[in-house]
Amino acid sequence: MGSVYRARDLHFPNVVKLVAVKEMINMAPDPLVRQTIVQNFEREANLLATLNHPSIPRIYDYLSLENRSYLILEFIHGKDLETVIQDSNGFIPEDQVISWAVQLCDVLSYLHGHKPDPIIFRDMKPSNVMINHNGDVVLVDFGIAKAFQVGQKGTMIGTEGYSPPEQYRGEANQFADIYSLGATLHHTLTRRDPRMEPPFSFAERPIRRINSNVSTELETVINTALQYNPSERFPNITAMKDALIGVARKTGMLSKITSALPTGAGSIKPLWSFKCEDEIRSTPILYQGSLFIGCYDNNLYSLNAADGQFQWKYAAEGGIVTRPALYDNNIYFGSEDKRLHVISARTGKVVWTYYTEGKVRSSPRVAEGHVFFGSDDNDLHAVNVNSGRAVWKFATDAPVHSTPLVVNELVYVGSESGAFYAIDFRGTLKWRFMAKRAITSSPALKGQSIFFGALDSMLYCVDMKNGWAIWKYRLGKGSVSSPAVSDDYVFIGAADGFIYCVDINTSKEIWRFKTDNQVSSSPAIYKDSLYCGSVDGYLYCLEYRTGRLRWKFESKGAITGSPLVFDDIVYIGSTDHHVYALFA
């Protein structure tokens, strides 16, 4: 601990010669330790006295008196960089920062090249950089005061913020100075004080996200300096200076920026494709080597999953947007002809049909001997699979497009009014949750939480037992996509064109991936990939933990249905009338 005084050198009585006097108080209680501190101080002062560089203040003298030591050095007219940052309105221009940075590289290079031993500054930060009256930088506070700081006891708050990770293990070499210079420049350009942030979190605050005036080239230089791993930073300060000069010239010296290009579109060839007579907006299912998919041409198709050969089709009297369900060798699906159709998976012959009062766009769910589905007649229907008769109907106040989820003897479903219901097997309401707009999305379950999207631009997480909201995550626009869950992540598409990945425990965004149009399709997870269609016509395959694009496949129309992945093959329908099978 100590102070710096502005003092006048009275050796020169006729002129005003100002000097800076840095006072350090020796607080060590043990006399031996105190003596060591003084010796170290004097050794360093002697060392500094031998330095000669325009960016290093000159040392005139030093002395120790009782428990205080003094260093008398050149007085710098100017302000330290921290004050400069604080006093400036807005961001300091990039070329100004680069010019200071280059000077700082020069002085560090001088220190690192010191013989016989290199000098490591160890404490590069804005408050130790003076900007003198000429606008040039001067490094002050050569860590001499360090020895005087007696370790604090008890729980402390805060940390330096500018020091690299390895410095906390007592390692300080030229790479530490490179890191700290990077941290100083980051602070200068972003005005975000790293002492107020978690240590080593610069990567979480990309410079250009805070200050978009900064060039990508300069950001790259600073990011390189700020690598956790010393070997990934610049090999020496001169290399950093060269890079900075390169930025200044904008000559593109930094061409090493690697951009991992994904496999281009077009190189993905489908295994097979099958053409229907109208748009496909539904999702296929697979059973015993056959693929079943509904189409807007009113047919449900049965195709050979291996080669896409047509097997049979069953004609309903309205378009089919629902995903079929399978139970006991029969296929269940709803149609806009207001009916639930049940047909044999083998022959395609009708087993029974069930009439509702509205179009059926909710996909059926079979559980416990009953089939549950919603209809535009505002009811959720529970129908016995053997008799084909309604067991009960649960009246909501709007059409039900969402697909019910059945678990632990409760049926969960959303409605177009924004209500979300939990209904028991007797058809009585257990609890209800209200979103602000329609819930077309179908619920997904993980642990004790239920996830669904809504047109109010929210992804909701509610407690399956009692319907209390645990969190909500704001999407860019509304969503009709149904969430998929894997590990601790929930994935959902939205009308803003993004596919989102959100942590289910913390509701924090993990990544988002931009497509070029609405994402109405629901993501499917298979192995370590996520598959999802977009209205931009593509089926995307992303690495689900990072959101990195693996490949994309272009169809000739919007993809609003959802992919099915089985045995390393993805099946997807498109509004270009085709069903495609692709290698996953």
Partner 1 sequence: MADFFRKLFKKEQPAPSQPPFVDSVTTQPLSEQQISAIMSGSVPRYEMKQLIASAGQSVGKQRDHNEDSLLAITSTISGSGESIPFGLYIVADGMGGHQFGEVASNAAVRIIAGHILKKFHSFLYNLPTQILQEPLQEVMEESIRDAHRYVQREAPGSGTTVTAALVLGQQVTIAHVGDSRAYALYTDGRIDTITRDHSLVKRLEELGHLSKDEAVNFPHRNVLIRALGQGESLEADIFTIPFPSPGYLLICSDGLWGVVNDQEVYRAVSEAPNLPGACQTLIEAANIAGGPDNISVIIAQMIG
Q: Near partner 1 by CB under 8 A, which window of 191-199, 233-241, 267-275, 379-387?
A: 191-199
Minimum CB–partner distance for residue 442 and partner 1 (Å)? 20
448 binds partner 1 (CB under 8 A): yes
Q: Residues 6 or more apart from 202 whose CB is under 8 A from it?
A: 182, 183, 186, 194, 223, 226
96 binds partner 1 (CB under 8 A): no
408 binds partner 1 (CB under 8 A): no
Closest CA to 448 of 504, 492, 368: 504
What token pair was written down for 23? 């006072």
Give the H/E segment covering residue 294. strand 290-294
* Candidate residues 29, 90, 116, 158; the one interacting with partner 1 per rule CB under 8 A: 158
Q: Residues 6 or more apart from 247 whose CB is under 8 A from it?
A: 98, 215, 217, 218, 221, 253, 254
Minimum CB–partner distance for residue 470 and partner 1 (Å)? 5
Q: Of the two residues 224 and 518, which places its CB atom closer to partner 1 in the complex? A: 224
Q: Of the two residues 61 and 424, which places its CB atom closer to partner 1 in the complex? A: 424
Number of residues that bind partner 1 (CB under 8 A): 38
Minimum CB–partner distance for residue 460 and partner 1 (Å)? 8
Minimum CB–partner distance for residue 195 and partner 1 (Å)? 9
Site residues for partner 1, 213-272, by CB under 8 A, read 228
Closest CA to 439 of 427, 426, 452: 452
Q: Of the two residues 152 and 259, which places its CB atom closer to partner 1 in the complex? A: 152
CA angle (39 as vertex; 34, 40 as ends), nearest 5: 100
Q: Near partner 1 by CB under 8 A, which window of 25-33, 153-161, 248-256, 341-349?
A: 153-161
* Full DSSP string of 195-206: GGS-TT-GGGS-
Closest CA to 290 of 319, 243, 326: 326
* Candidate residues 505, 543, 545, 566; the one interacting with partner 1 per rule CB under 8 A: 505
Q: Of the two residues 116 and 170, which places its CB atom closer to partner 1 in the complex? A: 170
Q: Near partner 1 by CB under 8 A, which window of 92-100, 115-123, 159-167, 349-357?
A: 159-167
Minimum CB–partner distance for residue 163 and partner 1 (Å)? 11
d(CA 562, CA 582): 14
159 binds partner 1 (CB under 8 A): yes
The phi, psi pair for 194, rounded to 5°, reads -65, -15
Q: Of the two residues 268 and 470, which places its CB atom closer to partner 1 in the complex? A: 470
Q: Residues 6 or more apart from 380 whose CB is under 8 A from it?
A: 372, 373, 374, 393, 394, 396, 400, 404, 411, 413, 421, 423
Pairing status of strand 569-573 against strand 564-566:
antiparallel
What token pair was written down for 70? 């003094």
151 binds partner 1 (CB under 8 A): yes
Neighbours of 319 (CB within 10 A): 21
Question: At 240, which amino acid appears?
Answer: M
Beta strands, E only, 305-361: 310-315, 325-327, 330-334, 339-344, 350-355
Beta strands, E only, 416-573: 419-424, 429-434, 444-446, 449-453, 458-463, 469-474, 484-486, 489-493, 498-503, 509-514, 524-526, 529-533, 538-543, 549-554, 564-566, 569-573
Q: Of the two residues 59 and 461, which places its CB atom closer to partner 1 in the complex? A: 461
d(CA 350, CA 403): 23
**Would residue 95 show up in a list of annotated catalytic residues for this protein?**
no
What token pair was written down for 502? 């959100």
449 binds partner 1 (CB under 8 A): yes
* Candidate residues 29, 198, 264, 266; the one interacting with partner 1 per rule CB under 8 A: 198
Minimum CB–partner distance for residue 447 and partner 1 (Å)? 6
Contact present, 219 and 207 (Cβ < 8 Å) = yes
Q: Of the two residues 311 and 507, which places its CB atom closer to partner 1 in the complex? A: 507
Q: Near partner 1 by CB under 8 A, which window of 118-126, 166-174, 209-217, 356-364?
A: 166-174
Q: Of the two residues 159 and 215, which places its CB atom closer to partner 1 in the complex? A: 159
Annotated active-site residue in 30, 80, 123, 242: 123
Minimum CB–partner distance for residue 472 and partner 1 (Å)? 5
Q: Of the two residues 231 and 267, which places its CB atom closer to partner 1 in the complex? A: 231
Minimum CB–partner distance for residue 458 and partner 1 (Å)? 9
What token pair was written down for 457? 């631009």
d(CA 197, CA 251): 34
169 binds partner 1 (CB under 8 A): yes
Minimum CB–partner distance for residue 462 and partner 1 (Å)? 8
Q: Near partner 1 by CB under 8 A, which window of 7-15, 61-69, 310-318, 427-435?
A: 427-435
Q: Which residues bind partner 1 (CB under 8 A)?
A: 151, 154-159, 165-166, 168-169, 196-200, 228, 430, 433-434, 447-449, 460-461, 463, 465-472, 503, 505-507
Catalytic residues: 123
